[in-house]
Amino acid sequence: MPYNVVLFSSAREQGNTRSLLNTLEKYAPLDVVYLNELNLLPYDYEYNNSGDDFLRILDKMVGCDNLIFASPIYWYAPTPQMKTLLDRFTDFLDIPNLKEKGKMLRSKTAFIVATSSQITIDATFESIFARTFHYLGIEYGGALHCQQSNVEREAEGIAAFAQKLI
């Protein structure tokens, strides 16, 4: 069974996106990392942020089969914590002792799980992730999006998406 790591961020830990993850967990095993509880500092050109939890997150990413980035869509974008994580990917492109770990992500498949007030996923939101995955050589496996009010009614689509994770 593949090991699925979810990097999750939301202003409400038990909100709509977490509800969607809870339903997804009924079909596929997930190891959920709640980014808001971690000390994740912004990207720093001088690398003075090395004492935060980024390396712990990177180790989780390297050790999994599938990466799932879960965030509600706020103004066409992910949460600030998720954006900080994406910005920090520059560390394993720039810092010599992290380059090998960064290259290990090329064997991963990444997915997006999102909720919003819209019926479909916002193209700008999806592009932020898809283009990042492409740049890093990570395969993009697709997105699961549910309108906030429809999470409970989307079991069939959630089950179909889960098949990609098992």
Q: Can you give the pLDDT at residue 7?
A: 98
Provide the pLDDT confidence category of residue 152 given band limits of 50, 70 and 90: confident
Q: Can you give the pLDDT at residue 148?
A: 82
Say whether pLDDT at 44 is over 80. yes
Q: Can you give the pLDDT at residue 150?
A: 75
Predicted TM-score (pTM) of this structure: 0.96
Say whether pLDDT at 43 is over 90. yes
Q: How far apart are CA 146 and CA 101, in angstroms?
A: 33
Q: Give the pLDDT mean for 126-145.
A: 97
Name the percent of the chain lying above pLDDT 70.
Answer: 100
Which domains, from first to last, does the chain contain? 4-162 (3.40.50.360)
Q: Can you give the pLDDT at residue 92?
A: 87
Q: Can you give the pLDDT at residue 61?
A: 97
Q: Can you give the pLDDT at residue 76?
A: 94
Q: Can you give the pLDDT at residue 3?
A: 97
List, as one string, the DSSP characters of 31-86.
EEEEGGGS--PPP-TT-TTTTSSHHHHHHHHHT-SEEEEEEE-BTTB--HHHHHHH
Provide the pLDDT confidence category of residue 1 given band limits of 50, 70 and 90: confident
CB 21 within 8 A of CB 30: yes
Q: Can you give the pLDDT at residue 154?
A: 84
Q: Can you give the pLDDT at residue 151?
A: 75
Q: Give the pLDDT mean for 109-125.
A: 96
Radius of gyration of the chain measured on its C-alpha atoms: 15
